[in-house]
Amino acid sequence: MIVGSVLGNLKVSPQNSIREVIRVIDNGALQIALVVNSEDVLLGVITDGDIRRALLGGLSLESPAKLAMNLHPVVTLQSTCRIDILRLMESHKIQQIPVVDSANKIIGLHIWSAAHKIIRSNFFVVMAGGLGTRLMPYTKNCPKPMLSVQGKPILERIILRAKDQGFENFLISVNYLSHVIQDYFEDGSRFGVNISYIEEKHRLGTIGALSLCRLILKTQFIVTNGDVLTDINYSDLLDFHIKNELLGTMAVRPYEIQNPYGVVNIDGHRLVGFEEKPIYRSYINTGIYALSPEVLEYLPEGEHCDAPTLFSRISELNQQKTSVYVMEEEWTDIGRPEDFHAANKPPKNL
């Protein structure tokens, strides 16, 4: 059970902004913030999922935490045995349960330990066949997913993170300099996973290679670009996709651009107001998806296709079967030399 200073670092007040809550969740690394009053009475909890729902519902990063929190979280008393706690976690599909006393004051937090990690049979697909043209000359003799970031290939980092979240079966789509990837990972046994390869005879876009996997992908699966580094919980993404009975779920991330100038709002020649350096908010495609095997029907075998095209095809016939999964976790697309250099900068505290 988490207690003491670690527990204290997870506490926020109902007046804290959602932005501040995200910082607490990131720093705590337990995917939860505990909303308490001045007497440590638990008012609610906020998880990554609560934040996603709040943002999709129209709240901003500056909205107060009380508008995003779950007012009725599952809690337990200190006397509850571990077996009952695990059963609660399994039945409610949650990974944290606050511990409270008889006055509902927070005294601890149970977390789903690594010893109880769920092993997933679902495939984890990595698209690693691109040329990496924008990263030349680094990619002249090295496929982009094999570029080293902080001493380890991008692709290895992706695989090991997914493995930590319970994924064991990997499909890697290869084309450009495919032997470099296959010689390094082989069948995956050296990394404690199972790896198979999709051979693209010609480049099929960011997602077209899935058309070659009809006999393999029989259940829901994760797809990621091979040049994306992120702290996203792939398992949570897949659970969201399955729970909502979707065909395609796209992980998206908020992106903000601040106008450096004061904006003047006008109506014809009439001045109607001012906005001081407004922030424009949108969502970007992160190159990470959860898909169901039925989507393969929308992919003619061997045809070039990018992910936005696939989602458009699905939405035209099954608009209610596609969705987005809003992520606030760290995310880096190693697509340009400046991204590559930034990813290899030593941490500031070193």
Domain stops at, among 84, 115, 146: 115
pLDDT at 268: 83
In tens digits, the chain (350 residues) has pLDDT values of 666 677 888 999 999 999 999 999 988 878 899 999 999 999 999 998 899 899 988 999 999 999 999 999 999 887 776 667 777 888 888 888 898 988 999 988 888 764 455 678 899 999 999 888 888 898 999 999 999 998 899 999 999 999 988 899 999 999 999 999 999 999 999 999 999 999 998 889 999 999 999 999 999 999 999 999 998 989 889 988 998 999 999 999 988 888 888 888 888 888 888 888 888 888 999 999 999 999 999 999 889 999 999 999 998 887 779 999 998 888 988 988 888 988 888 755 43
Q: Is 212 in the same domain as 152? A: yes
Residue type, 212: L
Q: Is 11 in the same domain as 66? A: yes
Tokens of 96: 């944290």
In a domain, 72, yes or no: yes
Domain count, the chain: 2
Q: Is 127 in the same domain as 111? A: no
In a domain, 349, yes or no: no
pLDDT at 1: 64
Q: Is 208 in the same domain as 111? A: no
Q: Which residues contact 183 (CB under 8 A, 6 or more apart)?
A: none
* Residue 68 CB neighbours (<10 A): 24
Structural domain boundaries enclosing 247: 120-343
CB 211 within 8 A of CB 301: yes
Q: Is 179 in the same domain as 234? A: yes
In a domain, 348, yes or no: no
Q: Is 157 in the same domain as 263? A: yes
Q: Is 85 in the same domain as 227? A: no
Domain stops at, among 83, 115, 147: 115
Q: Is 53 in the same domain as 134? A: no
CATH number at residue 100: 3.10.580.10
Q: Is 37 in the same domain as 136? A: no
Q: Is 173 in the same domain as 269? A: yes
In a domain, 71, yes or no: yes
Residue 55 has phi, psi (to 5 degrees) of: -65, -40
In a domain, 285, yes or no: yes
Q: Is 168 in the same domain as 265? A: yes
Stated pTM of the model? 0.69
Between CA 232 and CA 216 the distance in angstroms is: 25
Q: Is the dihedral of CA 54, 57, 62, 65 positive or negative?
A: negative
